[in-house]
Structure 1
Amino acid sequence: MPGPRPTGPGRARPGLPAASPPAVFAAIADVSTINGYFDVEIGPIEAGWRPLTDLLADSEPLRQRITDVAGRLGTDEIRVAASILFQGLAARLWSPVIGVAVARDLLLDLSPLRVHWRAASGGPLPLRAEHLTGRRILDPAGIAEPLYRNVLTGLLEPLAQAVQGIVKIAPGLLWGNAASALAGTVRTIAHRRPELTARATVLGRELLALGVLRGSGDLVEPAPGQPFFVRRSCCLFYRLPGGGKCGDCVLIDPETRRRQWAAALRQAGGSS
């Protein structure tokens, strides 16, 4: 099922007023303290940085990234490496946009024409832009659809098409990965910025009810303020040498999942 389509420049909902450049810069600086997935560097584009469109439209840089991931993970199954790469990139693209939305009431536009990336040996993909634009969110209850258009329609759908042009991989697997990455973003915010947990969880659930994410899984709270995701597809991580099942994997039996949640809640200082 295709997601909602863009509605205009910046893919933001018509009527959202533009945020000032200082407000956008301050918002990014704020959420970048959560972790590296939320950071977008602002500054001149120097040698070594490539436009994000390289990964969304040109298969050769993406093919090289998949090959590099396969080498680091020690697998010759290219579709497994492609799945893991896609999920990591999805988390990288969701994080700053969701973070800025719930922390600063701004809808950030990660235009692939404006945002650049560079290769890194590990960790979150470095992102950089000379400047970024955003829109002020006047009604948080209505932000899920324009945010979906910005990230999923504008970035992850082209990325998924590019991945599928390189390796045969089920669309449902990729959208499950996108949903898992979204839920991981929500959980990271809940862990690092607990005062934003309620807003992030509500927004996460609203996004999971839209377009290609609908039916991909459930964002549940076995304890208040402790969101966990249960997906309905598998990312293939278990096929890696020494791999196992991810915490949100559909293949985990209910009793094992309850024990894992209880252990995570004890570690976080929650009730089990």
Structure 2
Amino acid sequence: MAIPALAPLFAGDFERYRNVLVLPGQDRRAGIPAIDLVSAEGLARLLSEYQKSHSGDDQRALISLWSKHYFAKLIVPVAAANLVVGHELPVALDQIEVIMGEGGFPEAFRLPHGGQPFQVSPGNPFERFRELVDNNLSPLIDGWCDHIKISRRVLWSNAATYFERLIHTLETSGVPHQTLADGRQLIELDKRPNGHSNPMASPVRYIERGEGCEPQRQRRHCCIRYRLPGLALCGNCPHIDRPPKGALVLSSSLPSLRTSESTSS
């Protein structure tokens, strides 16, 4: 176990995150300083390597798709540790390294140390998740948008969608709602305490599909992966009912009439 204090988290559905967060000396693979990913040179290297796994060269679609791997791997264990165990992890962009796998996919994150329990209970969700949202996600997304003409809303939606999926999963697995209250508020509050817009707000909506059907989980902003040849709209794409011209739509992506159907993030 990479961080012993987090051992209770990584069981069942979360087993696959057991070795995603590592400490110095625990993984011999080389890491890339995460802050390098927002430099022009570092971003170019990242996209060049990642593009080998995909057709097409639309940089907006490539960075959006890569960001989904990054956000899924980082947000789930970090937010779960924060909410369920009350443990804050040091994940500021200028403190961590990203360990890459084949094809330029992020496989793990090397943290400078194992973090610590909150000494004082956070006063609101923005205090609780300041390290993750303000010190990692925000500079990462701003840095990418400095070099690629992609809407910040697309990238924030990618991050917030995985956060919402985590909260929903924890709620349905029996974690007390009070334990998850700050997490739920982070994606429900439109404004931060300073009056600024909350970029994590309302990433998904649930669309009624008729009597006897489960509501369809649908993103509010498309991840634009369809701009890469061969990649279809996601099953929870907001364009699924009216696909953009030329977009590939698989039958498995269409809204289901069965109550057991689920969609990907």
Is TM-score (shorter-chain normalized) higher than 0.5?
yes
Distance 1:88-1:221 versus aligned 2 partners, 3 A rule: farther
1:208 equivalent to 2:187? Answer yes
Deviation at 1:84, TM superposition (A): 0.7
**Which residue of structure 1 lines up, in the alignment, with residue 194 of structure 2?**
none
**Which residue of structure 1 lines up, in the alignment, with residue 248 of structure 2?**
none
Query: Equivalent residues in 2 for 1:92-111 (5 A)?
Result: 92-111=73-92
1:171 equivalent to 2:152? Answer yes
**Which residue of structure 2 lines up, in the alignment, with residue 269 of structure 1?**
none
Provide the secondary structure at the position in 2 that maps to 1:205. Answer: helix
2:216–2:255 CA contact under 8 A, matched in 1: no
1:115–1:127 CA contact under 8 A, matched in 2: yes
1:155 equivalent to 2:126? Answer no
Query: Equivalent residues in 2 for 1:36-185 (5 A)?
Result: 36-37=16-17, 39-44=20-25, 48-56=30-38, 58-121=39-102, 124-136=106-118, 142=123, 144-185=125-166
**CA separation in 1, counterparts of 2:91 and 2:77?**
9
Q: Give the alignment partner of residue 248 of structure 1, picking from 215, 232, 236.
A: 236
Deviation at 1:233, TM superposition (A): 0.9
Task: Name the structure with the higher helix share.
Answer: 1
Moved more, 60-69 or 180-189: 180-189
**Which residue of structure 1 lines up, in the alignment, with residue 8 of structure 2?**
30
Deviations 1:135-162 (A, max 9, x none): 337658x552223322121111111122
Distance 1:231-1:260 versus aligned 2 partners, 3 A rule: farther
1:28–1:40 CA contact under 8 A, matched in 2: no
**Which residue of structure 2 lines up, in the alignment, with residue 195 of structure 1?**
174
Provide the secondary structure at the position in 1 that maps to 2:101. Answer: coil
* Structure of greater relative contact order (alpha carbons < 8 Å, 6+ residues apart): 1
Moved more, 242-251 or 81-90: 242-251
Distance 1:63-1:108 versus aligned 2 partners, 3 A rule: same
Provide the secondary structure at the position in 1 that maps to 2:53. Answer: helix
**CA separation in 2, counterparts of 1:213 and 1:139?**
21
Identity %: 23
1:234–1:251 CA contact under 8 A, matched in 2: yes
**CA separation in 1, counterparts of 2:10 and 2:107?**
14
**CA separation in 2, counterparts of 1:147 and 1:260?**
38
**CA separation in 2, counterparts of 1:137 and 1:247?**
41
2:160–2:203 CA contact under 8 A, matched in 1: yes
Aligned-pair Cα RMSD in Å: 3.5
Provide the secondary structure at the position in 2 that maps to 1:125. Answer: strand
Deviation at 1:82, TM superposition (A): 0.8
Matched to 1:52, the amino acid is A
2:34–2:98 CA contact under 8 A, matched in 1: yes
Provide the secondary structure at the position in 2 that maps to 1:118. Answer: strand
**CA separation in 1, counterparts of 2:55 and 2:217?**
27
Provide the secondary structure at the position in 2 that maps to 1:61. Answer: helix
1:51–1:117 CA contact under 8 A, matched in 2: yes
List runs of 5+ in structure 1 lacking aligned partners.
1-23, 266-272
Deviations 1:54-101 (A, max 9, x none): 224x33223222222222122221110011112222222211221112
Deviations 1:182-241 (A, max 9, x none): 2233355568xx23385686544311134112243337999xxx9974321100122333
Distance 1:259-1:146 versus aligned 2 partners, 3 A rule: farther
Deviation at 1:40, TM superposition (A): 0.6
1:190–1:196 CA contact under 8 A, matched in 2: yes
Distance 1:50-1:238 versus aligned 2 partners, 3 A rule: closer
Distance 1:239-1:47 versus aligned 2 partners, 3 A rule: closer
